[in-house]
Structure 1
Amino acid sequence: MSLEVSLLTVFIAALITALTTGLGALPLLFSKRLDARWLSIGAALAAGLMLAASHSLIDEGSAANGWLVLLGMASGLLLVVAADRWLDGHGTPDVGELQGADARKALMIVGVMTAHSFAEGVGVGVAYGGGEELGVFITVAIAVHNIPEGLAIALVLVPRGVPVWQASLWAIFSSLPQPLMAIPAYLFVTAFEAFLPVGLGLAAGAMIWMVFAELLPDASRRLSAAAVGTVVVLSFMSMFAFQLAIHH
């Protein structure tokens, strides 16, 4: 294929999408005090955001090949369950000042969102393979879309005592695969385009597991079932409306 866009342009575009993830933590700068109840509220909000993101991934991947999306979801489920069991068996390393169960949840959500970022990086590279105009559009869409995903990470980390600036850096870290994957995806667009539905499904499967295995149990500790359901649905609706606004 002829390279109509420079590799530096593709790398910078994907790097921008990674950096915008860190902006998601900034709203928590305005929360002067986060008591224990915020662990549950933050978990419920993050659950809704991640469910909406998973819905978007499945919908996007199914447009190309639904069976490959299912294969990816099964792979994502196996990987995240294996990672969870490995952490249980080997102990969880400290994450900053977090230890034990808090460190485990931090590692899990950052790991799941990092897996998600591989698919987004491929998406940027494949888009630029279709021309600069399409590449710019997809870059902007993913960059804006990454902000609430960064918020989902911060909502798990900040109520547990992680400073907002560190939560922002963890969010950016989770998106670093985007610039790393964009270049090979652009150079070998045909091969990576076929892989994209699997990658989208893998991320969706891991995120859905995270919602039901980690976030919703946390949300239910200090909120009633009705309150959890309300927060999750409102969070899902907000993210879905955000996605509709981007695409239209």
Structure 2
Amino acid sequence: MNNVLFAFGLTLFAGLSTGIGSALAFYTKKTNKKFLSIALGFSAGVMIYVSMIEIFVKARESLEIVYGPTKGYYITTLSFFLGIAFIAIIDKLVPSIENPHEIRDVDDMTKNEENDKALLRMGLFSAFAIAIHNFPEGLATFVSAIKDPTLGISIAFAIAIHNIPEGIAVSVPIYFATGNRKKAFLYSFLSGLAEPLGAIIGYFLLMKFLDETMFGIIFASVAGIMVYISLDELLPTAEKYGEHHIAIYGLIAGMMVMALSLLMFA
């Protein structure tokens, strides 16, 4: 039982680190569009790098164990694009926000209702994608910690590091769109709670049914979702609210930070 509580505690720590990122919105001036641009670019860099370098690779490794190198690679690739199709369909089906009275202007240069709606919608989509991403991550952290506490600690810290900019990805656009710090923190906090939720469900429901195939398909799909969100929402908005090179610098910085965090805990 102590081992189970320890594993759950690690998962909770990793998930709630999104709150550190969301808290950064509290110290950001609403008129600082350069911060918004570089933060969104940074978050996109983190998402793209971890999706293609870490999550996709882990998914492929799991599926190749079951189906072999060739078929496992095909299934991983198919699952990746199914994840993209899934979030793209949701993107089309989600209705426009119909409560403009709840949305405040960013500043004189962004007093555009459509801009604020787009920011809020992007933040909510990011929260949704990150929650989906965090769910299997929570399960992976929990299972790893049960089998090997040392390995669980390494994975939890690596996930916590990249959950910080993921918290920014949710909280900053929502804060800039609404001017509401509490709402920004709440959505970021809730997206992080998906991680311990994954651990709880994994322990009570899925431990008997989770196999390499299910794990691989879920992870590959999540990688596709994260890449779609980055390319369709984060980067276009980063460029819209700042200079092209500022967004790209943020993107590269996000990739570098994510790469270093993975190397530290490799």
Q: What TM-score, normalized by structure 2, do the two folds share? A: 0.77
String of CA shifts for 1:76-133, please: whole Å, max 9, x gaps: 112211111111xx33365994473333212211111111111212212321342333
* Runs (4+) off by over 6 Å: none
What corresponds to 2:90 in structure 1?
83
Unaligned runs of 5+ in 1: none
What corresponds to 2:126 in structure 1?
109
- Superposition pairs for residues 189-204 of structure 1, below 5 Å? 189=207, 191-194=209-212, 195-204=214-223
Residues in 2 aligned to 1:94 and 1:54: alpha-carbon distance in whole angstroms: 34
Residue among 40, 50, 55 paired with 1:43: 40
Residues 103 and 159 of structure 1, relative CA distance in 2, 3 Å threshold: closer
Does the aligned pair in 1 maintain the 2:34–2:246 contact within 8 Å? no
Could you tell me the percent identity over the aligned residues? 25
Residues 133 and 80 of structure 1, relative CA distance in 2, 3 Å threshold: same
Unaligned runs of 5+ in 2: 64-72, 104-115
Q: RMSD over aligned Cα, in angstroms?
A: 2.9
Residues 191 and 131 of structure 1, relative CA distance in 2, 3 Å threshold: farther
What corresponds to 1:176 in structure 2?
193
Residue 152 (str. 1) matches residue 169 (str. 2): yes
Residues in 1 aligned to 2:184 and 2:216: alpha-carbon distance in whole angstroms: 29
Residue 27 (str. 1) matches residue 44 (str. 2): no
Bigger drift between 206-215 and 222-231 goes to: 222-231
Residues 10 and 209 of structure 1, relative CA distance in 2, 3 Å threshold: same
Residues in 1 aligned to 2:135 and 2:183: alpha-carbon distance in whole angstroms: 22
Q: What TM-score, normalized by structure 1, do the two folds share? A: 0.81
What corresponds to 2:247 in structure 1?
228
Alignment coverage as a number of residue pairs: 242
Residues in 2 aligned to 1:154 and 1:169: alpha-carbon distance in whole angstroms: 8
Does the aligned pair in 1 maintain the 2:119–2:173 contact within 8 Å? no
